Amino acid sequence: MVLTPPEETTTRPAASWCDAAPVNDADAGLPDWYLELRSAAWARYNALPVPTRTNQQWRFADLKHLRIDNHALPAPVSASVAADLVARAVSERPAEFAAHFVFANNRLLHAETPALPEGATCLPIEDALATRPDLLRAHFLKHGDFLGGEKFAALHAAATLSGLFVHFPKGRVAEAPVIVHHFIGGEGVAIFPHTLVVAEDHASVSVIDLFESINGKEDTLVVGMADLHADRGGRIQYTSLQDLNDKGAKHVQLQHTRAGRDAAVKVGYLNLGAEWVRNESINRMVESGADCQIFSANLANDVQEYDQRTLQSHEAQHTTSDLFFKNALYDRARTIFSGLIQVQPGSHHTDSYQTCRNLLGSDEAEANSMPGLEIDADQVKCSHGSTSGTISDEEIFYLRARGIPADEARKIISLGFLNESIEKLDGESVKEMLFARIARKFAAIG
Amino acid sequence: MSQSLRIENLHASVDGHEILKGLTLEVPKGQVHAIMGPNGSGKSTLSKVIAGHEDYTVTEGSVFLDDINLLDLEIDERSRAGFFLAFQYPHEIPGVSNANFIRAARQARLPKGQEIDAVAFYREMYAKMDELGMDRKFTARSVNEGFSGGEKKRNEILQMMMLEPKYAILDETDSGLDIDALKIVAQGVNAMRSPERGFLVITHYQRLLDYIVPDVVHVLHDGRIIHTGGKELAYELEEKGYDWIINEPVAA
Amino acid sequence: MPDSATLEAVNIDQDEGNFSYPEDYAHDAGYGLTEKTIDYISDIKGEAEWIREFRKRALKVFNDKPMPTHWASKDLENIVFENIRYYLSKGQRPTRSWDEVPDDVKATFERLGIPEKERKFLAGVEAQFDSEAAYSNVKEELTKEGVIFVNSTEGLREHPEVFRPWFGKVIPTGDNKFSALNSAVFSGGSFIYVPPGVKVKHPLQAYFRINAENFGQFERTLIIVDEGAEVTYMEGCTAPKFETATLHSAVVELVAMKDAKIQYITVQNWSNNVFNLVTKRGLAHENAEIRWIDCNIGSRLTMKYPGVIMKGRKARGEVISIALANDGQHQDTGAKMIHAADETTSNIVAKSISVGSGRSTYRGQVHIPKHLKGCKNNTECDALLINASSRTDTYPAITVRGNQHATQHEASVSQVSEEQIFYMKQRGLSEGEAMSLSVNGFVNDLVREFPMEYSVELKRLIDMEMEGSVG
């Protein structure tokens, strides 16, 4: 594996992409097909309109967050900062892991692959382009369907070069997770991490992306994309842990799942930081027996806005899916959940469920739910539910009767409320890490 | 005119797999026959085939209810001809009250233009529910919805009592019943025994036959009746299992 | 599995209104919609100048607003506004006696059973034929108590002090393209006022009949129920089946003052060439209650989301909705609940049945803004699919601000399963009977919400035409 220490990369002056396409340092030597793909994406980005109020896919969203074209690509971090970040990432990771990669400002700082099964590949996208272009190309940036984030997707495609390509051939199984840190720092900068996970027949892998800020208060933008391909009997768990600074950071994460025959994919979102988050999660069950499960826990306070749009698309018979999202809201936080279950014509014998629960913890918090169903097949079992409410006095009373102070009781109940959806993910060490992060934020917001 | 439920050389398959492979059996009016057999011998297939379930294809043979060839009839016509199946897993019908359902089934048996006498209908149904120890509230509840296993089976017997079939198949009616429920169900069936009616009781366990004493016991294996005997055969099967019969050369 | 027999079996009696009489109109505004059309209508009605101005402003809004196809059905694009006639009447004045109603109009309503129902259980009836009411009568004792029950023209002319303050206030002209259209060309409908404390025991009924082809009916209804008063209003509608599209676009505004109760019941059975695009909304003051009971069986495309704005403390809103979408039909229905005061509660129960290639859509909006206390919403919507080609969609949107509220939304989609039909057939029911029983079972709890006389009719409508359809 070729690793380039940040000190040796040549830096370009950061420029806003109002004027020119965002380009990366290592453009030289990139395959032609990729460069073409990128320039097409750039043209698409410029051609696409900024979403407006009448766009249903942005209903309830505060469109002021969409003004992003004043951002520019970041300079690399200094050697000392890099060392600090690696040390921080290493200290945070679970004891057991199959691979650990650390990126900062679009560049790789650290890579370790202690427990990858033989034949499995974990390569930074940039390296994969150079060394495994055919393997990468089969799945890389293939999607055209999004849930409103087309313009962000085009920008991502025009600019991405960091992030990890995870390829598990037939039958390869990793028990421990692949951990990927993405750090961002610098006023007005943007990064475009890409995660591509391919699990061939009966392969199994778990990948966690962690998004974190280097500095506490900065206007930054992350436009990430995750593509998950599970072939026959393949299993993928993908988790996005977003803990960026809540003063100025924006995060757009666009994720696609393609689950083949008897494949099982779990997707988890944990949102704690950032000022504005847009998650788009498209989950397609394209062959019979496919199963997708999507979970989310979001703890929003202050003026944070978490906007999540999901699609469970059943495109074959005997497919199943479940979605379970939880929002705990404080202060003037806003959440938007828009989920659609689509059962395509002919996708008979489908079971599909969707639940969104909101726990409102202040008089000014706002939760918007749009759970949707579009059913066009026979012998389908489908339901969705959405509730919004607050912690009942009886619950608080019960805990107080056990000697727990009211504030603490409230915290315990809220924590349990969010943990419920994390609990559904696989991997004890992954869950431990997520639980700890939630607890940390609860402690911080008092 | 023959007075029996007569199954002759019945072959039936599901998804191309033959399950019944030449089953022959006759239940004369006035008698109770039992069919026992190991799992997968085709017991439940038999009841569904006779009822006319569309998943099963009859490839050969016939089923006569007295002089009517049931296989020529639609599912509901078979029922109205006098055939009743007490299901092993009775289906739930959301929103449709038990009383309305049974009433509709009774109405379907009347000539066009003739209406059920509602007062008499309820009087009769309440009397039969009392016999089965069923609470009156079951008339207003949706058919089988939220019923316990025992309540569902009782409800099957109630329907049988209300529809007064000529022949009835009880498909593993004893499964999932505690002994008290079993006694009540058996009581209901016994009350209906008459020279005008035949029963075929499909069961896995001899226990039921202590309460519904059969005239004849058949052993079903691999889609055929391989042994027939009196009620004592059930005890023998309970004690010795099926292997001694299965391994016996099939009678020519 | 559900075969053609089932399809036929579930087919409801959409033909009961399928007859028409030859056209013979004294007033015809002609095809298309311009300011001239409005002047024509205003002149005939002898309207006050402010109404003419109101109409003209609305026409401008209508022309400026795009079709809402960014979220709604593209089928809307098939409405050709130039091919529609916006006002047709025989020049009749609504009479208080059926004997004075023109023969063919009278025959129409007799055939639909309206005079008979009036004798049996109604407190008042208004029967509209195309653009104008032909008959309007209310029991004398109600008139004595001060109840007003007239059409829109008369309401605005004779009782402006009662109706003008609320006219267009619950549903502003620009609410949507079709409320603007109605505001431009409205004619007919019911204007009702119930004085404080008067509880109208028997329902008031309006019956809307379209007789002519290439016609648009735009009735306008405004019901004001004063403090502590109560009323139940029912509307029914039919039209003959024509090859070309017919348009029905009503605006219905309800105002329930403090402690008042309004129950508004609709049984919509338009023929399935009718575009039925209706805006309905109620304003509930303190401790008032507004219930919409809405049943949609007919039409080609219905778009209707009855709403309640709960403006006063402890106001209550409810929508009970049944939709049946058969081949070629799209029932796009739902509810809007706007909580605008403390301790307001709303309830939505919607059930839809999609048969054959029919499509049913639920759209809901529940809005609880900030700084309110103790608001509650409960929403249940259940869809039943009968055939493999049937389709259903559910699109609710729920906004809750603050930590002193509780909302709950549940939706499910289910099917009449093959095993359920097998079970019922084994008991001797035909496939049609089994399907009928299952479908009625699905909507039974909602049908009970309709007044007796209506629930019987509704059951009959939803019920299957068994005769001769299933062997």
Q: What is the pLDDT of residues C347-386, one digit of tens each?
A: 999 999 998 889 999 999 999 998 899 999 999 999 998 8
Residues of chain C contacting A371 with CB distance shorter than 8 Å: 394, 396, 409, 411
> Within the 318-357 window of chain A, which residues sit less than 8 Å (CB to CB) from chain C?
345, 348
Q: How many residues does chain A have?
A: 446
Q: Whole-angstrom Cα distance, residue C214 to residue C132?
A: 16
* Paired strand residues for B7: B25, B63
Here the tokens at position B144 are: 């089988």
pLDDT digits (tens, 9 = 90+) for C166-205: 999 999 999 999 999 999 999 999 999 999 999 999 899 9
C376 touches chain A (CB under 8 A): no
Interchain contact, C391 vs A375, CB within 8 Å: yes
Out of C394, C399, C402, whose CB is closest to A372? C394
* Paired strand residues for A268: A239, A295
Out of B84, B91, B94, whose CB is closest to C423? B91
A56 touches chain C (CB under 8 A): yes
The model's confidence at residue C466, banded by pLDDT at 50, 70 and 90, is very low
Residue C245: pLDDT over 50: yes
Q: Whole-angstrom Cα distance, residue A197 to residue C397?
A: 34
Q: How many CB pairs under 8 A join B and C?
A: 81
What 3-state class would DSSP assign to A9? coil
Cβ atoms of C255 and C280 within 8 Å: the answer is no
Interchain contact, C422 vs B93, CB within 8 Å: no
Cβ atoms of A180 and A208 within 8 Å: the answer is yes
Cβ atoms of C376 and A38 within 8 Å: the answer is no
Residue type present at position A196: L
Out of C395, C399, C408, whose CB is closest to A372? C395
Residue C393: pLDDT over 80: yes
Interchain contact, A373 vs C392, CB within 8 Å: yes
Q: Do chains C and B touch (3 or more CB pairs under 8 A)?
A: yes
Q: Whole-angstrom Cα distance, residue A359 to residue A240?
A: 21
Residues of chain A contacting C376 with CB distance shorter than 8 Å: none
* Paired strand residues for A191: A222
Find the closest chain B residue to C418 by CA distance.
Answer: B54
Which segments in chain B show pLDDT lower than 70?
Answer: 1, 249-252
Q: Whole-angstrom Cα distance, residue C399 to residue B221?
A: 63
Please check whether residue A124 lies inside any domain of the structure: yes
* Structure confidence at residue C14 (pLDDT): 54
Chain B nearest C-alpha distance from C65 (Å): 44
Number of structural domains chain B divides into: 1
Range of the domain at A87: 6-390
Mutate to test the interface with C, among B96, B100, B103, B163 (most CBs of C within 10 A): B96
Interchain contact, A367 vs C415, CB within 8 Å: no
> In sequence order, what are the residues at sequence separation of 6 or more whose Cβ sits closer than 8 angstroms to the Cβ of residue A11?
A25, A75, A76
Neighboring chains of B (3 or more beta-carbon pairs < 8 A): C
> Within the 386-425 window of chain C, which residues sit less than 8 Å (CB to CB) from chain A?
387-389, 391-415, 417
Interchain contact, A360 vs C400, CB within 8 Å: yes
Neighboring chains of A (3 or more beta-carbon pairs < 8 A): C
pTM of the model: 0.84
Here the tokens at position B44 are: 């439940």
Interchain contact, C409 vs A387, CB within 8 Å: yes
Residue C3: pLDDT over 50: no
Q: Do chains B and A touch (3 or more CB pairs under 8 A)?
A: no
* Structure confidence at residue C470 (pLDDT): 28
Mutate to test the interface with C, among A331, A351, A373, A392 (most CBs of C within 10 A): A373
What 3-state class would DSSP assign to B3? coil
Pairing of strands B4-14, B56-65: antiparallel
Q: How many residues does chain C have?
A: 471
Q: Which residue has the higher pLDDT, C452 or B161?
A: B161
Please check whether residue A431 lies inside any domain of the structure: no
* Structure confidence at residue A344 (pLDDT): 93
**Measured torsion, CA atoms of residues A329, A330, A331, A336, in degrees rounded to the nearest 10:** -10
Interchain contact, A348 vs C408, CB within 8 Å: no
> Within the 13-52 window of chain B, which residues sit less than 8 Å (CB to CB) from chain C?
51-52
Burial class from Cβ neighbours inside 10 Å (0-12, 13-18, 19+) for residue A92 reads middle
* Structure confidence at residue A124 (pLDDT): 94
Interchain contact, C403 vs A367, CB within 8 Å: no
Number of structural domains chain A divides into: 1
Cβ atoms of A445 and A276 within 8 Å: the answer is no
Alpha helices in C347-465 (DSSP H): 418-426, 431-447, 452-462
C412 touches chain B (CB under 8 A): no
Here the tokens at position B231 are: 């009620």
B72 touches chain C (CB under 8 A): no
Interchain contact, C429 vs B85, CB within 8 Å: no
Interchain contact, C424 vs B101, CB within 8 Å: yes
Please check whether residue B117 lies inside any domain of the structure: no
Q: Whole-angstrom Cα distance, residue B34 to residue A236?
A: 52
What 3-state class would DSSP assign to A134? helix
CATH number at residue B233: 3.40.50.300
Interchain contact, C400 vs A382, CB within 8 Å: no
- The alpha-carbon radius of gyration of chain B (Å, integer) is 18
> Within the 157-186 window of chain B, which residues sit less than 8 Å (CB to CB) from chain C?
159, 163
Q: Which residue has the higher pLDDT, C12 or C42?
A: C42
Neighboring chains of C (3 or more beta-carbon pairs < 8 A): A, B
Mutate to test the interface with C, among A386, A410, A414 (most CBs of C within 10 A): A386
Interchain contact, C437 vs B85, CB within 8 Å: no
Range of the domain at B231: 4-94+166-246
Please check whether residue B120 lies inside any domain of the structure: no
Please check whether residue B192 lies inside any domain of the structure: yes
Please check whether residue B107 lies inside any domain of the structure: no
> In sequence order, what are the residues at sequence separation of 6 or more whose Cβ sits closer than 8 angstroms to the Cβ of residue A152?
A68, A146, A223, A252, A254, A278
> In sequence order, what are the residues at sequence separation of 6 or more whose Cβ sits closer than 8 angstroms to the Cβ of residue C8?
C432, C464, C465, C469, C470
Interchain contact, B95 vs C433, CB within 8 Å: no
Q: Whole-angstrom Cα distance, residue C101 to residue C93?
A: 9
Determine if residue C380 is left, alpha or beta; phi over 0 gives left, psi from -120 to 50 gives alpha, anything else beta. Answer: beta
The model's confidence at residue C406, banded by pLDDT at 50, 70 and 90, is very high
Chain A nearest C-alpha distance from C322 (Å): 18
Here the tokens at position C91 are: 């020049």
* Structure confidence at residue A404 (pLDDT): 79
Interchain contact, B74 vs C425, CB within 8 Å: yes
Q: Whole-angstrom Cα distance, residue A240 to residue A253?
A: 9
Which segments in chain A show pLDDT lower than 70?
Answer: 1-28, 446
Please check whether residue B251 lies inside any domain of the structure: no
Interchain contact, A390 vs C404, CB within 8 Å: yes
Residues of chain C contacting B97 with CB distance shorter than 8 Å: 441
Please check whether residue A87 lies inside any domain of the structure: yes
C69 touches chain A (CB under 8 A): no
Find the closest chain C residue to B92 by CA distance.
Answer: C420
Residues of chain C contacting B85 with CB distance shorter than 8 Å: 426
C357 touches chain B (CB under 8 A): no
Interchain contact, B75 vs C444, CB within 8 Å: no
Residue type present at position B24: T
Find the closest chain C residue to B88 by CA distance.
Answer: C423
Average pLDDT of chain C, as a whole number = 89
